[in-house]
């Protein structure tokens, strides 16, 4: 599948896959200078890219495990959703979960993007739902005996 990308900034980097079977493509910081994100705060980091996805597909933006584990930086909304009709700049709201200020460097890999199909549902209100073995058990209930 080919995805059209538009560079909004000459220094923007096209997303790359870390290995042959990587599901997520790395997104890069396209910033004029390093950005310091204070402990407990969030900063919007630009990628300098806009994209055109086919209808029926969505781009999901996830944390990069290395950045999250080593620096405590991960998307503030946990998973970013880029709909197929969005044509604006891809930005990542990076939140600093660590107890120290962290720096995002120019060109640093800041998140990973997975492009996947989705199913659009029609929601229908019902007065009753079919029974199931699990029933109403949630939040860890399946591990209880």
How confident is the model at residue 145, as a pLDDT?
Answer: 58
Whether 116 is in a domain gets the answer yes
In a domain, 132, yes or no: no
Whether residue 129 is contained in a domain is answered as: no
Residue 145, in any domain of the structure:
no
Structurally, how many domains does the chain consist of? 1
pLDDT per residue over 65-99, tens digit each?
Answer: 999 999 999 999 999 999 999 999 999 999 999 99
Residues 100-106, mean pLDDT to the nearest whole number:
98
Confirm whether 94 is domain-assigned.
Answer: yes
Residue with tokens 């990628």, as numbered in its chain: 47
User: What are 132's two structure tokens?
Assistant: 């199931």
Per-residue confidence (pLDDT) for residue 138, from 0 to 100:
76
Stated pTM of the model: 0.90
In a domain, 52, yes or no: yes
- How far apart, in whole angstroms, are the C-alpha atoms of residue 49 and residue 51? 7
The whole-number pLDDT of residue 125 equals 96
Range of the structural domain that residue 8 is part of: 4-120
Residue ranges of E strands in 54-140: 57-62, 73-75, 80-82, 91-96, 102-104, 109-117
- Distance, in Å, from the CA atom of 38 to the CA atom of 111, rounded to the nearest integer, reads 18
């Amino acid at each position: 599948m080919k995805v059209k990308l538009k560079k909004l900034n000459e220094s923007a980097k096209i997303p790359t896959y870390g290995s042959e079977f990587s599901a997520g493509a790395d997104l890069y910081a396209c910033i004029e200078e390093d950005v310091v994100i204070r402990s407990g705060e969030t900063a919007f980091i630009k990628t300098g890219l806009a994209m055109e996805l086919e209808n029926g597909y969505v781009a999901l933006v996830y944390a990069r495990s290395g950045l999250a584990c080593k620096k405590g930086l991960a998307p503030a909304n946990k998973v970013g959703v880029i709909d197929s009709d969005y044509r604006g700049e891809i930005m990542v709201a990076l939140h600093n979960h660590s107890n120290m200020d962290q720096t995002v460097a120019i060109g640093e890999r800041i998140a990973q993007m997975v492009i996947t199909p989705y199913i659009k549902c029609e929601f229908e209100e019902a007065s009753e739902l079919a029974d199931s073995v699990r029933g109403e058990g949630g939040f860890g209930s399946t591990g209880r005996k």
